[in-house]
Amino acid sequence: MRICVVGAGSIGGFLAVKLAQSGNDVTVTARGKHLEAIKKNGLLLKIGGEELLASNLKATDKLRDVGEQDVFFLAVKAHQVEPIVDDISAVLGQKSCIVTLQNGIPWWYFQEFDGPFSGTVVRSVDPEGTLFKKIDPKRIIGCVVYPAANIEAPGVIRHDEGIRFPIGELDGSSSERAQAISNKLVEAGFKSPILPDIRSELFLKIWGSACFNPVSALTHATLEDICTYPLTRELSINALSEIQAVGEKLGATFRVPLQRRLDGAKAVGQHKTSTLQDVENGREMEIDAIGGAVVELAKIAGVDIPHVQTIYALSK
């Protein structure tokens, strides 16, 4: 399968190495010293005490140069999608599809949506509706990213934990392309079930990230610290309860009880969220997609979320 990973950062790089090593034709986009290192030495993944080198990757900083691909794994951050939307459109073949990997609420949430808010543009992640208009939702397969990883050095990815990338068609249908992508991910060593309701799985992830990510950015605390310290633990319980109410109002179901979700975050240990990593490295945060979108959806659904709104306001 011809695969382009758009954004070979921590998660994109993790995917790229494993997919390349399982026999796929993989191209990545990257920038700066990271790109230079990949071109010179390949992309190195440190995982489970092993070092896996993908030396057969093609790498570029120009998406329009990658040529036609079967699948594009869109691994850039939410606020980085709009600037490249025309480049994405330019390289899509007749049957190319896009697997979205962004944190937070995706721009397509209300596209191919069976509910009262169908066709609503999520302005916090797509202010002018550009992505809504320019990317055909039928091209998209949603994906929820559970692994944690970091860029240890240019050209070097360190995997911390997790191998699960569940996917799903936006309309909940089963399809040959979703099965083919799932098969390739499984062959590469990932867990990738095909879900009939990808939005509920997204809310299960957002449930934690809209709470823990901004709190970690504000406190510089790890997940274990946030879930252990009494005051931030209480704050997290209140915020999680509010986020769950928003999801349920929009039709999402939560297959995990709140206490188990909190305990699961604590069990990750001394892991720094991606938002805290952005703060420490001087990068722009994904606060709008993670927190702002939840605040926006709460207003759409008519749900009061004072704790989440306060966390968002402080982190913004």
For helices 306-315 and 198-219, what crossing angle results, to 10°?
60
Integer angstrom CA distances of residue 19 from 4, 93, 101, 170, 272: 10, 20, 15, 24, 26
Strand stretches in 144-276, DSSP E: 148-153, 156-161, 167-169
Give strand pairing partners of 168.
142
- Residue 247 C-alpha from the chain's centroid: 18
Query: What one-letter code names the amino acid at 309?
Result: Q
Burial pattern 297-314, b for ≥16 Cβ within 10 A else e, equals: bbebbebebebbbebbee
- Residue 77 C-alpha from the chain's centroid: 8
Enzyme catalytic residues: 205
CA distance 88 to 244: 33
Token pair belonging to 186: 């499984």
Instruction: Tally helices (H) and strands (E) across the chain.
Output: 13, 11
Residue 194's Cβ-count burial label (10 Å; 0-12, 13-18, 19+) is middle
CA distance 70 to 54: 20
